[in-house]
Amino acid sequence: MTHPDQAYEELASAHAFPINEAIKIGGQYVPVLRDGPLLYVSGQIPRIGDQVHFVGMVGSGPDAVIDLASARRAAAISTLRALTLVKAALGSLAAIRSVPRISVFVRSAPDFTQQSEVADGASEALYTVLGPRGVHTRTSVGVLQLPKGAAVEIDFVFGVE
């Protein structure tokens, strides 16, 4: 199996995600919090640098501007952001032992019911980078609005060394 750090770099390259750029956080919270063997990562949206990508509702109809494939990519980019934060906190993604839980929020048009398919973008990214250690439980929920108008927001719980 490919080392997680190498798999992360390859996936980031495939999504044109800059891995050497510090992730900026606004507000009075921490992006990563360790509590014993668990590492919690605050909700991540598909932001690259200062720009939020994939802004708008997911689905079809007059209010929706993001299709399913784009929403899945948004989920993958949000996951890359989380992995960037974890790597900065731990030094290497090899320190991840498990992913007990992810929660995926999808800014959904009223008739959109494929939130779980959007979440697959995050699940596939985790498995690509971590292999079997990236298998997780998850919840996917449709919501009316997300920060900065993002199509997707995901929070994570990692089991770590």
Q: pLDDT digit of tens for each residue in the chain (161 aa)?
A: 689 999 999 999 999 999 888 887 878 899 999 999 999 999 999 999 889 999 999 998 888 899 999 999 999 999 999 999 999 999 999 999 999 999 999 999 999 999 999 999 999 999 999 999 999 999 999 999 999 999 999 999 999 99
Q: What domains are there in the chain, each with its CATH number?
A: 4-16+30-100+116-153 (3.30.1330.40)
Residue 145 to residues 43, 63, 109, 110, 124, Cα–Cα distance (Å): 14, 12, 10, 12, 24
Contact predicate 112/75, CB 8 Å: no
> Strand, helix or coil at 3?
coil
Closest-CA residue to 79 (of 108, 37, 47): 47
